[in-house]
A and B are shown apart, each in its own frame.
Chain A
Amino acid sequence: MSLLSTAPRLLVDVAPRSTWKSPWKRVTVIAGMTVTSFWLVVLITLSWWAPYKPLDAVGGRLQAPSWHHLFGTDALSRDVFTRTLYGARQTLPVSVGVIVCAVTIGTVLGSLAGFFGGWIESVVMRLVDVTLAFPPIFLAMAVAAALGPGLQNAFFAMVIVWWPIYARLIRGQVQAVKHRDHIQAAVSIGATRWRILRKHVLPLSFTPALINATLDLGQVVILTATLSFLGLGAKPPSPEWGAMITDGAQFFYQWWVAVAPGIAILTVAMSFNFLGDGLRDALDVRAKR
């Protein structure tokens, strides 16, 4: 037997078997996608099939869950199920908006800081350091309180809290990428710095930000609800989940008033986290080895 004839067999025996499994087939990720899809469908189609209007008094006061009112009614006789569904229209757009703005601002400033360095980097990173020196919840509360209650102001407060995370992340990625050989090659053939940043550096640096954004969505949902719970977010009678929990907190023994929006927050936050985990594993080449 020649060496050539044995070689393939040896290779098969010695090479480790790949344990990588597509994240999209994982139960948690499928659950995350399903729940997220559910809420997206609710968000888009709710007006056509909602059982009641969110502000209308439709039953008795503080009625327990029943077939007529799946999550019962609140103190003003409003259907809690309907209000919980409508809550998605408040929380989800705000959460996605916060992440989009934070990623955009963080990406622009972080990439400028990482790519150009010098005073730009010093200014941006000190700003980032100062912002990150405060616990996010307290900073968001302080900003929201200073701006005044309202979902719009809570939105700005959360963007202020969140953009530095992405600025720091992108800066690090850009610094790692900008010294690679193909970037040096682009420099040597005379490509402008702006072109190199846009066409070569940013596309390679953006993936971690995308993964983070998905994972952070759940946290932004919780922070939005927290600010509303504290009276710094949505104003009454808006069916925002955090504000609904505030309303329900005083009816401790009519548990359905607070539990329904709590479940909504739970499902949305978990589904975004599951999706984020799946996205990370799918895009992380090291996980595929």
Chain B
Amino acid sequence: MRRHVEGRNWSKVVAFIAVGAIIVASCGSSKKSATTAAPTGTGSQSTTAPSGTTAPSGTTAPAGTNAPSGGAHELVIDRDMDINSLDISASYCDTCQIFNTAVYETLITVDPADPNKLLPRLATSWQANTDNTVFTFKLDPAAKFADGSQVEAKDVKFSWQRLGNLKGSASYLMAGMKSIDDSDPTTVVITFDAPNSAFLPIVAASYLGIINSDVATAQGATDAADAATADKAGDWFLAHSAGSGPYQLESYTQGDKLVLTRNDKYWGAKKPAFPRVTIAEVKDSSSQLQQLQSGDADISMQISVDAVGQLQGNADVTTKIVDSYNYVYIALSPGAAGGEKLQDVTVRKAIKEAIDYDGAIQALVAGKGKKQASPIPNGFIGSAGLPLPEYNLDDAKKLLSAAGLADGFELDATYPDANVYGVDFNLMMQKIQQDLAKVKINLKLTPIQFTDWITRINAKGIPVTAVYFAPDHTDTSQYIQYFGLIPNSFWAGSAGGGAAGKPMDNPKESDLLKQALGSSGDAKAKAYTDAGQQMIDDEIIIPIVNTQLVLASRTNITGMHYSACCNLDLGLLGLAG
């Protein structure tokens, strides 16, 4: 009659005892230490790459070998995946960068050891006209897709036009594109409406990888202006790929694993080292750590800095903490329902000054992170010289008092329930809540699923939320295009209340972006710096921590690196011995 009997009570109790025993038994030293490589110097300007980012410290160039070095070893990577699509033109996520780079190839790529240096990939050479409106790329005649067909200009045109017309999150990368000339199969000429000095770094973004247009078109893909509604290839791309990269998609099971197989016909000089690469969905740092220690995983991508100390002394595992361009931030949206009190910029400034940044960095990443001045991350052009945020409780109270809010108020803080770059958003928002409570601002925390968060922020905005950002390419323009209060910027819309509101606007930022894209050298750097200052003054985006990255792998894995454009290029990995 009863659905549950007393024995089941006991089974749960015993299970709890067992879990407790395992935790206690496995606890070791709580010592937290890690090696942090010293920061490198200022990045140099490249004539071919008008970007100018400082190389993340500790990143080393992967050893180049031409022969496959993996033998029969299958590579297993643990990662908390955030895949939104495996269609390169519709994808937009950190894991997508890894997948896109492994399966598709861009015309040029970024040297992992020096983000300012662009390297040839599908293109052998490239050049821009004097005002950066026309770019010409010569394709490598040896470049072949996985089906053996040649990579031609028509494929480039198809891929880039489709990226722009699908109107996905990464479509902004093709903004301003006027035309693409593919009359010569080995030459691509792309023309822009206005100067776009950021385009060469943009070409290295993983989303601009080249699709085999014949294969994709046969599956319903289109690059037409109405591609956003007419393209029917999204489902096909979940099980197939059509690229020229060192690996091909074998299978993908959401929430389980992404499996790639070697492209045996890979045309490039460095042959793929592993017959199969499995990216396994392993969400938490502890599980990733254990799998790496036991050898079940070759690479664990999201081990927290708190856990790195546990790997020290383990000769089978190599760990390194490197600087990255990734960061987490909170965003204030005056246009969102419930965010009316944020319409006064002094209130937003008070919130910014009420946050204890050093304490947050200590609490969230054990001090292994940096403060960041503006949405432009440390190391990118325009970041140098901007004032870092400072914790000033007294000033925050004065500002709130001046705004007539000395008695405090309540704000809705809905955010994605995520753990990104080693930062647990629940923890981060609790820390912010702790800090803001000191100025009598009561944050009402509500963690929700990422997909729900996207829906909500697009629809009506959220007064206070937490988000993360990793660069799509190595030019600063992306930060103004995404965070600036300019037309079509994501945060101009969301801060204004999403689809239900009116986008916020700061015309100075539009002008500064235009200036930067039409200039180079110091003039460009100054325009970006000024835009950074404008974004600081907007008080919409408040960076909390520029995180460092733990590179953790089995010692026999070679070529571990962090790439500014592509996260991790699987084609550069190998097996020692």
Q: Which residues of A approach B to under 8 Å, CB–CB?
A: 55, 57, 61-62, 64, 75-77, 132, 136, 148-150, 165, 168-169, 172, 212, 215-216, 218-219, 222, 231, 235-237, 246-247, 249-255, 258-259, 262-263, 265-266, 269-270, 273, 276-277
Contacts and interface: CB of A to CB of B under 8 A. Distances in A.
Q: Which 9 A-B pairs have the closest CB atoms?
A: A252-B286, A255-B27, A237-B430, A273-B9, A236-B426, A266-B16, A236-B430, A255-B23, A236-B445
Contacts of A149: 446-448
Contacts of B289: 252
Contact of A269 (B13, B20, B362): B13
B427 interface: yes
Contacts of A215: 6, 9
A262 B28 contact: no
Interface residues on B, range: 35 or more
Contacts of A237: 430, 433-434, 445
A101 B445 CA distance: 28
Contact of A273 (B10, B28, B364, B445): B10
Nearest to B17: A266
A150 B448 CA distance: 10
B310 interface: yes
B463 to A, nearest CB: 16
B20 A262 contact: yes
B16 A219 contact: no
B20 A266 contact: yes
A23 to B, nearest CB: 14
Given A75-B427, A237-B434, A259-B23, 9 more contacts: A75-B363, A76-B427, A76-B434, A77-B363, A136-B3, A150-B446, A218-B13, A250-B286, A259-B20
Contacts of B304: 250
Contacts of B17: 266
Interface in B424-453: 424, 426-427, 429-431, 433-434, 437, 445-448
Nearest to A231: B417
Contacts of A273: 6, 9-10, 13
Interface string B108-121: 00000000000000
A249 B286 contact: yes
Contact of B419 (A77, A218, A250): A250
Contact of B30 (A62, A77, A165): A62
Contacts of B28: 253
A32 to B, nearest CB: 12
A165 B363 contact: no
Contacts of A277: 6
A254 B304 CA distance: 13
A246 B426 contact: yes
Contacts of B445: 235-237
A253 B310 contact: yes
A254 B427 contact: no
B306 to A, nearest CB: 6
Nearest to B10: A273
B307 A255 contact: no
Contacts of B307: 252-253
Contact of B424 (A64, A218, A250): A250
B424 A76 contact: no
A149 B286 CA distance: 25
A263 B30 contact: no
